[in-house]
Amino acid sequence: MLLGPVMLDIAGTQLSEDDIIRLSHPLTGGVILFTRNYINHRQLTELTQQIHALRSPHLLIAVDHEGGRVQRFRDDFTKLPAMRELGRIWDKQPSRARHLVKQVGFVLAAELNACGVDFSFTPVLDLDYGQSSVIGDRAFHHDSNAVYDLAYNLMLGLKKGGMPAIGKHFPGHGYIQTDSHLEKSIDSRRYNDIEANDLIPFQHMIDAGLVGIMSAHVIYPEIDSKPAGFSKIWLQNILREELRFDGCIFSDDLSMRGAGDYLESMLSRAQAALDAGCDMILVCNNPAGTDQILKGLQWEMSATSLSRFARMHAKNHIGSMTKLRENGDYVRAVREISIIGCESGELPLQ
């Protein structure tokens, strides 16, 4: 059975009958996991194996696992720093920051990969303008070139751990104060201002081989009256044609308030996001909305989208968590990560 365009969530730490029905639906193509889905490594591995066994090719399994305050799995996982900590190191020791962020990417990917997760929605490519209530220390830096420099090296680390990188939130969520999870979000800047700043990390990462991008539920009225994730201007004219991105476009969660103020029904949001150019749409924490979409959505997957999905599967080079902990590169990386953000601010010489 071919994968569909819907990525949905599940209720608990193992699959219920309702979960299995939804995951077996031909419109489903992936699963996003949350903290509620995790107890320990063994349980998570069993859960991902169960999900993967349902379909061939197997459903994509994703998670928001960036580091800092956005790290879904914590017990028995390495504590990852907020990306701003790497930006602070970059200000003083750029080469050291590149090395450390590469180690962070490797550990992040290797641990998730060992448990059967295909990818994390990371890195955050938003700029830190010092005023966003939701981005904040999730951003590497306020300087676009620093963001690219660090994100590129994080991507190299992810690749070493067998995992693709997904940049977010296109075309940039860092300028506004509002949280698009909770309210309608508007960025009133002109396109030239966004292009000269926020788009730079996206353009450079695309040129470097980025295979996935998540769009923002932010309205940029100088460009389009629709949120970027529902906008053909942003997703097709700018992202596909001008920036020449040929990877997988993910919507942000269609249950977010930033999407709800644009279209009321979940089905209409799903249709609009796909029509605008998303390859895969996320529906989280809304079982009724998920069922509405699976029941009513009319969508035929293109061969192009399916080929993009194929690039999102993790490549497990290391094996189980037990084998990972015997890997010298991994042990060294974990040790080095542990000093990031230390209170003294002193970094060991490399």
Kindly give the pairing relationship between strand 119-120 and strand 166-170: unpaired
Q: Which residues are annotated as a binding site?
A: 64, 72, 138, 168-169
- Pairwise CA distance, residues 160 & 147, whole Å: 20
CA distance 253 to 76: 27
d(C-alpha 282, C-alpha 270), whole Å:
9
pLDDT in tens, 274-303: 999 999 999 999 999 999 999 999 999 999
Reduce the DSSP state of residue 129 to 3 states and report it.
coil
* Number of residues that this document lists for the chain: 350
Query: DSSP of 186-217, one letter per residue?
Result: B----HHHHHHTTHHHHHHHHHTT--EEEE--
List pLDDT tens digits, range 110-139: 999 999 999 999 999 999 998 877 898 999
User: Which residue, 259, 235, 237, is CA-closest to 247?
Assistant: 235
Provide the mean pLDDT of the chain: 92
**Which positions are catalytic?**
181, 252
| Full-model pTM | 0.94
CA atoms within 13 Å, Cβ hemisphere of 277: 23
**Confidence band for 1, pLDDT divided at 50, 70 and 90:** confident
pLDDT at 260 over 60: no
Domain formed by 6-337, architecture? Alpha-Beta Barrel (3.20)
The 10s digit of each residue's pLDDT in 217-233 is: 999 999 999 999 999 99
Residues of the binding site for substrate = 64, 72, 138, 168-169
pLDDT band at 259 (very low <50, low <70, confident <90, very high): low
> Do residues 157 and 102 lie in contact, with contact meaning Cβ atoms separated by under 8 Å?
yes
- Residues in a beta bridge with 63: 33, 120
DSSP assignment string, 95-121: HHHHHHHHHHHHHHHHHHHHTT--EE-
Q: Please name the amino acid found at residue 86.
A: L
Structural domain boundaries in the chain: 6-337
Task: Transcribe 275-307 into DSSP letters.
Answer: HHT-SEEEE-S-HHHHHHHHHH------HHHHH
